[in-house]
Structure 1
Amino acid sequence: NGTKENLSRALWGWLGLTFVVVLAMSGWLKWQVEAVEKWRLAELLWLYGLRLVLMAMLVLPWMQYQLHSQTGSARYPQFYLRLWHNVLTLFIVLVANGLFWLVLLLWSALFRLVGIRFFSTLFFETEAFIYVTIGLITALAVILARTQSRLVAAVQKLLTLIATGLLPVVSLLALLFIVTLPFTGLEAISARVSAAGLLSTLTLMLLLLVAIVNEPQKRVLPYPRVLRGMISASLCVAPIYMLLAGWALWVRIQQYGWTPDRLYGALTASVLLVWSFGYLIGLLRRGRDPGEWQGKVILSVSLLTLVILLLLASPVLDVWRISVNSHMARYHSGKITADQISLYMLDHSGKPGQEALKSLRDDEAFTQNRKRNRKLMTFLQRNKVSPTADDLARVVMIAPGSQKPDAAFWAFVKEQSYTDDSCLEPDACVLVSQDLNGDGQPEQVLYNFIVAESQVYGLKEGKWTQKAFARLPDGFSKTQLLHAIAGHQLDSAPKAWRDIIVDGKRLDVDYYNE
């Protein structure tokens, strides 16, 4: 009874700790994505979910060891077996869900052939059905994996045999490439954008295959002496690969600063460097059990990875903040010009990026260029609360001598234009009535000086439609427009290139650069 109470207390302790950690991570993510557009949230939530799955795979073996292992039993053999079992359970869950949803897809498609859309709506548009079905299939797959332990062990054995065949090939590749480098030079590595990623992938494959093949109960790798020597040699050069990857990554950081991808790459390279040096130390410790040392290395690497994943979901390793600060520091120090600022990167960097965009709005050196300012305002307006039709009617200036449009016009502008938000800025927009087709009915031309363009609207069968748009010249301002109107210098000109008429039918011709 005492043992059961202790296990129950430990289980609830682990669950409570997990709840607190996930709650804190979710709260931090929610705060970060408040400034992110809704259509991008799905991608961020998927990445967050994948991170949670990876963290679960790393922390579950530790929980299971504490809850189910006997006192004094070796930790690494239990960690190895439970990690294998958990990974294969996840694989079975994914396969089961994938096959089941393929059947439902076929089911709905067959009934759509005869005009019945009920099943398509039920399976793929009803959220309650989707959540319940995924949960049910996942639970059944987990039960299957837990009850059919021999089947899972057979799959593990099969994958271990495959890894046993791949390890010598990957080791040979690692040795051949390191021998080639002195003849090709390191400049080729630094010149490649993907160099660090390729070197890290090779090292990760090598280390993972060694961890899989070198099972805890085995004293030596199951190969002839020559192959064991080749694998040991490849493990000796693995740290060199990670040092080269780190160097290539650092060259890019010095050239272009930090980005989320480079930060992830640096953290991955750090973990692999620790892992590879751990294996190297194990090879140098002659006369001692290498399996025991490998267990310590892998357990340490798993904890290090778990800590890094936790820090990435906290303010400590906020990839958006680090990237934005690096980018803006390079701009303020003169390493990059205003034209080299990546507004796209800032817009995709959550709250830190939005704060940086707002700071650029007050930067005279940046906003003095009309084109740059137009792009900046486009990014800033995306994240503002959209104005109502009444707001536009109240704020937009009607040019002297122009007609005041009805409420339907403002409602149409609100629905059609993606730049109408900027009209709320002071002196941003002016509405001018001007007949542009000679039919005696003036069109409404909305000049937007923030985005440097004008939209032409006209009536067709009693309804407002958008007729055309035009780019405004650099530096063209509200003052210049009003001065032209006051001086009767606002006019229109017929186009030199004409449409084609064939047998009384008019062909609308769009001329290039005309």
Structure 2
Amino acid sequence: MAEESYRNRPDWDLRPWLLAGLGAVAGLIIHFILGDGPFYSNPPGALKTASVAFVGSLAVLIAFTLERERWQWSVIFSFVAALAIGLILYWNGAPDQWSGGDGWRVVCIFLSVAIAAPLFQAARDQGARRFPYVDVHDHALTNVVIWCAGWAFVGIVFLLTLLLSELFALIKITLIKDLLDENWFIRVLMGASFGAAIGILREQDRIVRVLQRVIVAVLSVLAPVLGAGLLLFLLSLPFTGLSALWDATKATTPILLSCVIGAVILANAVIGNGEEQESRFPPLRYGAMALGLAMLPLAVIAAISTGLRIGQYGFTPDRLWALVFVIVACAFGLAYLVSLVRGRHSWATYLRPANLNLAFGLCALALFLALPILSFNAISTRDQVARLESGKIMPEKFDWAALRYDFGEPGKAAVDRLARSQTLAIAKAAKTALATENRWDLAERQTNAVRAERVRRTIRVVPEQVGLPEGLIESLNLSANDEASYALSYRRGERSAVLIGQNCRDCPLNVQVARLDEKGVWTSNRDGVLAVEHVEKVKPGAPLSASIEVREVKRRQAFLDGKPVGDVFE
């Protein structure tokens, strides 16, 4: 009955042409906003980004939701949703100025709209604020299928256009080929072809339904495989312990959350949108139940992993976002486990309304996180600065690159304030952070400083052990390997130094030369380390025990009109 509410409407033959025109106009407007210059050389600012997002989102949402019946509802919904997307992107600022975590805020607004669209479509079909699960589920799956198929159609259109351009070029007609070199034509063609694809697919309900069933059938077959794998993983943990998860990789939380997402998708592929679509094949049913059973334990383990990282290193925007994802995963896992306990073999009866409630909750949460209400940058900045000022972490080991470049404006303001700190080490490190032009230079400088401090305590200086000038060790290419060993030929007051080192016990020797330039800065050939080729056998740690000296050596070389040519030879 629900399917008849919107599947058996009269054909709307004009829809593909309307949507193709809408897509073409949207592409042309976006071209006028962005201009004709190369995107990489002229990245759009906040206003341009927001405008492009508004126009593109408005066109796409209208294309997906427009029906002749209650078409005003679709236009109003699309306008409000596109305006929300545009405002969020404008508030985020220019994309090339985004700090850590800002991208997730954009993901949240798109996720919120993507969830709201099928909810709106179901209510529009009902003509009231009612959300039948069958309609919501069907619209959600249809939107995903049409989205993917639409972009596949765009790719085919461009390949066909390219083929025709080459074909006509054979007879000296280069119009199509010349048009493909124009940005405005590419954007218009992309918008028109994507709009036409959506219109055609929405007029071909039978094809879309067949494609849906194929996708669901393929996914449902994978449910027992993933379900058995997750249960075996959980049963193995008492024997391996949780510590094995932290030792194996730093990506424990993303891997576990990916498993939860996969479990949600495959479980719903088995239960379908109603009893008539629910698979009765025992392996598939039990596979889906295994997925529902495994989700909450996986989410809890991910929560433990995230909690340990936060306890050790404090808050960062990325860790706070990870915490949000873990909370969402736990909510889904709890809902699926409760449905399984209540319904057992009939758990889908309880799971479908739970899915609907989760969709509303996730939509509202994503919208809230996208709004400029809660600042993960500010929370992380306060936490990290408190750890620094309390002495929990030393200034030389503090992640200044993250605070300066990844925590947004609160982080930049904190570094500026710390540069005036009464603690000299903190003030010095903060001033260094402010003096750098990008995070990579700062991160490399900090990494080198940590390595240099370790090497400074163990390096052998010849012919006699003397204090080394500031910046000399930092200018050299040093390894963080604990097995590395180095010796430095340097005399007090000299303007050059030679480093002989091994980066590991079995590594070959290498030589680096550092010189003091006219500005008083030590530089070295760190990007082109001189390999030692004539030492056949070197015992581990040789630079720390062998006799080392630097000699002047005469070489022979050919000269042509007073200019050296060729390599030096004996």
TM-score (norm 1): 0.65
The answer (yes or no) to whether the contact 1:361–1:367 under 8 Å persists in 2 is: no
Q: 2:187 aligns with which of 131, 152, 161?
A: 131
Question: Deviation of residue 348 (structure 1)?
Answer: 2.9
Supply the RMSD in Å over aligned alpha carbons. 4.3
Distance (Å, rounded) in 2 between the aligned partners of 1:43 and 1:98:
33
Task: Please tell me whether residue 365 in structure 1 is matched to residue 365 in structure 2.
Answer: no
Secondary structure at the aligned position of 2:564 is classed as: strand
- Hey, what's the Cα distance between the residues in 1 that align with 2:555 and 2:257? 60
Choose which of 7, 26, 31 in structure 1 pairs with 2:89.
Answer: 26
1:175–1:233 contact (8 Å) kept in structure 2: yes
Identify the range of structure 1 (373-382 vs 63-72) with the bigger mean alpha-carbon deviation.
373-382
Q: Is the 8 A contact 2:385 2:414 kept in 1?
A: yes
Counterparts of 1:148-167 in structure 2, within 5 Å, are: 148-167=204-223
Q: Distance in 2 between matches of 1:284 and 1:290?
A: 8
Q: 2:414 aligns with which of 352, 356, 367?
A: 356
1:14 to 60, 73, 77: 77
Q: CA deviation at 1:72?
A: 9.5
TM-aligned CA deviation for residue 233 of structure 1 = 3.9
Partner secondary structure for residue 274 of structure 2: coil
Tell me the equivalent position of 1:339: 396
Aligned to 1:506: 564
Q: How far is 1:319 from its partner?
A: 3.2
Change (3 A) 1:221 1:500: farther
Letter in 1 for 2:199: I
1:186 maps to 242
Q: What fraction of aligned residue pairs are identical, expressed as a percent? A: 21
Post-superposition offset of 1:372: 6.7
Amino acid of the residue matched to residue 218 of structure 1? E
Q: 1:98 aligns with which of 155, 159, 167?
A: 155
Q: Aligned equivalents of 2:175 and 2:392: distance in 1?
A: 60
2:257–2:299 CA contact under 8 A, matched in 1: yes
Structure 2 letter corresponding to 1:306: C
Deviates more, 1:234-243 or 1:40-49: 40-49
Match of residue 245 from structure 1: 302
Deviation digits for residues 102-160 of structure 1 (CA, Å, limit 9, x no counterpart): 55667789999999999777535x44333322221221111121111111111111111
Match of 2:120 among 52, 58, 63: 63
Which of 349, 357, 360 matches 1:303?
360
Query: Which secondary structure does the structure 2 equivalent of 1:503 belong to?
Result: strand
Gap change, CA 1:15 and 1:158, over 3 Å in 2: closer
Cα distance, 1:293 vs structure 2 = 2.1
Query: In 2 relative to 1, CA 157–224 (structure 1 residues): closer, same or farther, beyond 3 Å?
Result: closer
Name the SS for the 1:506 alignment partner. Answer: strand
Distance apart, 1:376 and its partner CA: 3.2
Q: Does 1:266 align with 2:340?
A: no
CA distance in 2, matches of 1:121, 1:374: 51
SS at match of 2:318: helix
Distance 1:183 1:139, change over 3 A: same
Q: Secondary structure at the match of 2:143?
A: helix
Residues in 2 aligned to 1:325 and 1:290: alpha-carbon distance in whole angstroms: 45
Compared with structure 1, are the counterparts of its residues 180 and 111 closer, same or farther at alpha carbon in structure 2 (3 Å cutoff)? farther
Q: Displacement of 1:500 after TM fit?
A: 6.9
Query: Does structure 2 retain, via aligned residues, the 8 Å contact 1:498–1:509?
Result: no
1:315 counterpart SS class:
coil
* 1:416-471 deviation digits (Å, cap 9, x = unpaired): xxxxxxxxxxxxxxxxxxxxxxxxxxxxxxxxxxxxx9987xxxxxxxxxxxx762
- Post-superposition CA distance 1:308-341 (Å, at most 9, x none): 3222322333333333333222212222221222
* Structure 2 match to 1:174: 230
Q: 1:42-71 CA distances to partner (integer Å, 9 max, x unpaired)?
A: 999987765554333211111111212266
CA distance in 2, matches of 1:111, 1:44: 48
Q: 1:330·1:336 contact (CA, 8 Å) conserved in 2?
A: yes
Q: State the secondary structure of the residue aligned to 2:324.
A: helix
Distance 2:408 2:168 in 1: 43
Return the TM-score normalized by structure 2. Answer: 0.60
Q: Any residues of structure 2 matched to 1:183-332 within 5 Å, and which?
A: 183-191=239-247, 192-218=249-275, 221-225=278-282, 228-229=285-286, 231-286=288-343, 290-332=347-389
Letter of the aligned partner of 2:207 in structure 1? L
Give the drift of 1:252: 0.7
1:77 is aligned to 2:134: yes
Mean Cα deviation higher: 256-265 or 193-202: 256-265
Counterpart contact for 2:296–2:334, Cα < 8 Å:
yes
Residue 487 of structure 1 is matched in structure 2 by none
* Counterpart-to-counterpart distance in 1, 2:76 and 2:290: 45
Q: Could you tell me how far 1:283 is from its partner in structure 2?
A: 1.7
Partner SS for 2:372:
coil
Contact 2:270 2:284 in 1 (8 A): no
Inter-CA distance 10–368: structure 2 relative to 1 (3 Å threshold):
closer
Following the alignment from structure 1 to structure 2, what is the Cα–Cα distance between the partners of residues 200 and 294?
A: 20
Whether the 8 Å CA contact 1:271–1:301 is kept in 2: the answer is no
The alignment partner of 2:141 has SS state of helix
For structure 1, the 5+ residue unaligned runs are 383-452, 457-468, 474-494
- Deviation at residue 204 of structure 1 after TM alignment: 1.5
Equivalent residue, structure 2, for 1:398: none
SS of aligned partner of 1:266: helix
1:496 positional shift? 7.2
Q: Report how many aligned residue pairs link the two structures.
A: 397
